[in-house]
Amino acid sequence: MALQAQEDLAGLVLLAPAAYPGDRAQWWTMLPQVPLLGRLLMKTLTPLLGRSIVRDSLKDAYHPQPLQEDYAQAAEALWTRPDRIRACASDDRSLDASLKSLSERYAEIRLPVMIVTGDSDLLVKPQEHAYRLQRSISGSQLIRLEGSGHQIPQTRPESVIKAIEMTSSLES
């Protein structure tokens, strides 16, 4: 959005951003795309493995904080639906191509940008994404949260609010 319609935005607050392509496609993302067999595998494997895959992914996302059980249960119920699995798999498979094309244009962003990252993020390594992004966007600021992982909105909501307030006080 910032690259297509900067004039419509006052600023950006990016939380644990995946900003650059890498080698992060999950093994299961190809299954939903296999004709006929994919649907059969999803119906067969989802009840057996789906909840465990979601829970393991969330443990990594929350690391080093403990996984919030109510969030885990809601995510398991939502993310193990066949339509959600297909959508998530499609997003995961197309992410690198999108990031490749977007990352070539980050220097064009002229908005106030606040990048918030957890120093213990296992999913989106801060050094490979947040720090690099901050160097690419002129005038952007980086907030590094000690002892935090990827799930910043759930584990550090006060930091999200502070970042929004700081961004809204910046002039573009």
Whose CA is closest to 51, among 33, 39, 67? 67
- 77-100 average pLDDT score: 82
pLDDT mean across residues, the chain? 87
Query: Is 54 within a domain?
Result: yes
**First-last CA distance in the chain:** 16
Query: Is 122 within a domain?
Result: yes
3-state class (DSSP) for residue 66:
coil
| 118 CB-contact burial (10 Å; exposed 0-12 / middle 13-18 / buried 19+) | buried
Amino acid at 31: L
Contacts of 38 (CB under 8 A, 6+ apart): 31, 32
Query: Is 1 within a domain?
Result: no
Q: Which has more confidence, 28 or 125?
A: 125
Q: In this predicted model, what pLDDT tens digit does every residue of 107-150 receive, in sequence order?
A: 999 999 999 999 999 999 999 999 999 999 999 999 999 999 99
- Looking at the predicted structure, is the pLDDT value of residue 172 above 50? no
Domain count, the chain: 1
Query: Is 160 within a domain?
Result: yes
Whose CA is closest to 172, among 12, 14, 11? 11
Query: Is 141 within a domain?
Result: yes
- 43-66 average pLDDT score: 82
- 25-31 average pLDDT score: 60
CATH number, position 69: 3.40.50.1820
Fill in the DSSP letter of residue 69. H
Domain that holds residue 67: 6-19+26-169
Query: Is 56 within a domain?
Result: yes
Whose CA is closest to 95, among 13, 14, 22? 22
Q: In this predicted model, what pLDDT tens digit does every residue of 11-23 receive, in sequence order?
A: 999 999 999 998 6
Enter the pTM of the model.
Answer: 0.83
Contacts of 137 (CB under 8 A, 6+ apart): 106, 107, 109, 113
